[in-house]
Chain A
């Protein structure tokens, strides 16, 4: 059973198609990255998943049920645009959201104390929200999202505004949650985090899915034509444009992009003809590059 299945959803605002026939399948207990440039339709998609807006067509199923209010209680959603009641105290706000999610008093108080401690916010328990720094408020918003231990967690840009230490803290907690069986979908621009955390990704552009699948598979798809080479001797082979589309010579080593259809073995043989090869490495492209290239090509 999928944690989340999105079948062919579309959404238009007037003449503008925000999302066009998008389908997703997300396995339980995995971390899924939802990527895309600004305005690609990620937030609209997430809102349709959460039932905040209704799709013009298509279906959303969470844990194999339609996304009714009852099911959505098992989903935690951290929206991209978020804030808190400025004049309320930290524990009051947490209590309010806990009650909204139907948590019982005792469990709620325990969870509140636990997470404040975990996020290093304990001394701020009785302070007003407006007295907290932005980063602290972000951490608090995250806690509120996971207070009731949702089975599915949807995070829209969870790392914004966090310094490296807090980013790391959040990353660790997400991994913990995954270990406990939570399915996590997060949308972000920070490819670094995606590379570290995600099992699978989906790249959306202009409301449509352009790339999806297991992270390694995706990279492999793009990965075959980048080489890092260390050599000494004759550099003539570098000028062979039948093999090499582009190269950057850094002095110590060269980064080479092969022409399409050219295999890395062909380049190795060619290099060995005239030079001594110390290092020959097939490098996986960074997700950043894949992102930019895919979007540019559309």
Chain B
């Protein structure tokens, strides 16, 4: 039987691997990874470009000067980023006029925006409503800038308030300084400071696993449908049994996906091992580079393992889908429930990553429809005990065997049927019939 499956595997593999699509797709990933590695590095060395003009209306009369001192950011060329101008306002009527005029200036792009500091920010009246500074601008979504202004204002105003109360700002600031939670990921390999990139990397890897399962699963369906549509299946089935054709197809397509996966995994590993050297090539300092996520060999190995198991499990079902339909459009409809099984883990990813050893996570990581993705999520965040992983793998393998048996029957009947899509009772008949 083996020498019948081999030509099928060979054909499925070679016809895909030799295409431009595969070569480009496989190459894009390492390039993408490389860029993703660079981005955090580059961001940390990034400085502002432009100078921004702001007008300040300061009804307290005292915030402006310290504010200017606090906004001492410089551009790449060493010029001050924030250019502030003070506007005097004597009466409420003048205030209204001024606001109108300033709005016009904003729309004419003469200034970026203006700040309005009410008198109440420095009044010590507890019963007064919120003491907010107002910021009017054309662009209010530059969170970086907003934060800069906010910090500068807070610092200036706080210092003034403290001084007004007779307290020494320097001492007080030291005493009330907040605490930053510095996270360190502990694993068998030691400790590693984490700057939020672990989440990003996990998300990225899970995304890839999810996409690969869908893309390669859909490839199987398309292949089956093409063989039906062109009727080449009739010629093939004269020489091999349908079951051999199905398994050959699954292994052939799986081999393509596996090859891509391996190329990518090696790329990730290499980038991970040499991340420090690469980062330094781009001028980042060692301080910037600590906290870059690294990948353990174990995670990469499980990445590949769960792709394989997940693919084998879903590929059989994708093949059955192809056998039931007669066109790519129909296939997309029938594929939906299958794809849902892959989407659900993605939707609850935040929960799983946050609670990787909760009961819900454990149970879900055992159900074969969800386990490839969910178990991998758990592994990349918090390595579960070996027996849990073993159990999930065992369940998956048994499910794969069962699914091959079931879908083999559907495939066998379906590939030679060109009529209407079978209803559920008809599908059962197909299974019994085989």
Contact = CB atoms under 8 A, between A and B. Distances in A.
B234 A88 contact: no
What interface size band does chain A fall in? 20 to 34
B230 interface: yes
Contacts of A52: 237-238, 416
A157 to B, nearest CB: 12
Contacts of B4: 100, 102
Contacts of A101: 239
B3 interface: yes
B67 to A, nearest CB: 68
B7 A100 contact: yes
A79 B235 contact: yes
B241 A85 contact: no
A144 B234 CA distance: 13
B62 interface: no
Interface residues of B, number: 24
Contacts, number: 60
Contacts of A83: 229-232, 234-235
Interface of A is mostly: loop
B425 to A, nearest CB: 12
A90 to B, nearest CB: 14
A100 B239 contact: yes
A69 to B, nearest CB: 7
Contacts of B237: 52
Summarize B's interface: helix, strand, loop or mixed: helix
Contact of A100 (B15, B236, B418): B236
Interface in A84-104: 84-88, 96-97, 99-102
B231 A82 contact: yes
Interface in B202-244: 226-227, 229-232, 234-241
A84 B232 contact: yes
B11 interface: yes
A96 B230 contact: no
Given A99-B7, A100-B4, A69 B236 contact: no
A88 B416 CA distance: 22
B121 interface: no
Given A52-B416, A69-B241, A88-B15, A82 B234 contact: yes
Given A100-B7, A100-B8, A102-B3, A82 B235 contact: yes
A123 interface: no
B230 A97 contact: no
B119 to A, nearest CB: 77
29 contacts: A52-B238, A52-B416, A69-B241, A76-B238, A77-B238, A78-B235, A79-B238, A81-B418, A82-B231, A82-B234, A83-B229, A83-B234, A84-B230, A84-B235, A85-B15, A85-B226, A85-B230, A88-B11, A97-B235, A97-B239, A99-B6, A99-B7, A99-B10, A100-B239, A100-B240, A102-B4, A141-B235, A144-B235, A145-B238
The 5 closest A-B pairs by CB, nearest first: A83-B230, A99-B7, A83-B231, A79-B234, A77-B238
